[in-house]
């Protein structure tokens, strides 16, 4: 089973009690980061109450780190929970994807684009 437990410490951009941040190995856009749980937890719904309360702080830290090198015009924040939601590594991770003016011709609908026919409404 794939997981993120073997990430080298020098690859971690930030670490706290519940999570750490790394650059995505296959970035959707410049600056794409992952928030990963320190423990092997399958997805968001398996996180402890304390971890869930810590997550907004780590999202803000990811944004701060991204903005030291990039100037995005927006963000997508997403989690795939379960095989049929597209999850391929069953270890909690949250994508922080910077978005840039012009990176998509019609960005309206945002994350609804995971099912392309549902993006326009």
Residue 66: inside a domain: yes
Residue 2: inside a domain: no
Residue numbers of the domain that contains 52: 9-118
Q: What percent of the chain has pLDDT over 70?
A: 99
Residue 112 pLDDT: 80
Residue 68: inside a domain: yes
Residue 104 pLDDT: 85
Q: How confident is the model at residue 1 (pLDDT cuts 50, 70, 90)?
A: low
What stretches of the chain adopt beta strand conformation (E)?
Answer: 14-15, 19-23, 33-37, 74-78, 93-99
**Catalytic choice (18, 32, 93, 95):** 93
Look up the CATH number of the domain holding residue 75.
3.30.428.10
The neighbour count for residue 112, using CB atoms within 10 Å, is: 13
Residue 93 bears catalytic tag: yes
Residue 114: inside a domain: yes
Write out the two tokens for 105: 């011709």
Residue 5 pLDDT: 93
- Rounded mean pLDDT of 44-73? 98
Dihedral sign for Cα atoms in the order 31, 36, 42, 44: negative
């Amino acid at each position: 089973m794939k997981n993120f437990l073997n990430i080298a410490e020098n690859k971690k951009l930030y670490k706290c009690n519940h999570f750490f941040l790394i650059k995505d190995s296959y970035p959707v856009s410049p600056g794409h980061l992952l928030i990963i749980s320190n423990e092997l937890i399958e997805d968001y719904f398996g996180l402890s109450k304390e971890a869930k309360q810590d997550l907004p702080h780590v999202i803000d830290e990811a944004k701060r780190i991204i903005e030291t090198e990039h100037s995005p015009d927006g963000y997508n924040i997403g989690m795939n929970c379960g095989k049929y939601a597209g999850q391929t590594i069953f270890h909690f991770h949250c994508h922080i994807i910077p978005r840039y003016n012009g990176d998509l011709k019609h960005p309206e609908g945002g994350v609804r684009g995971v099912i392309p026919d549902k993006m326009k409404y």
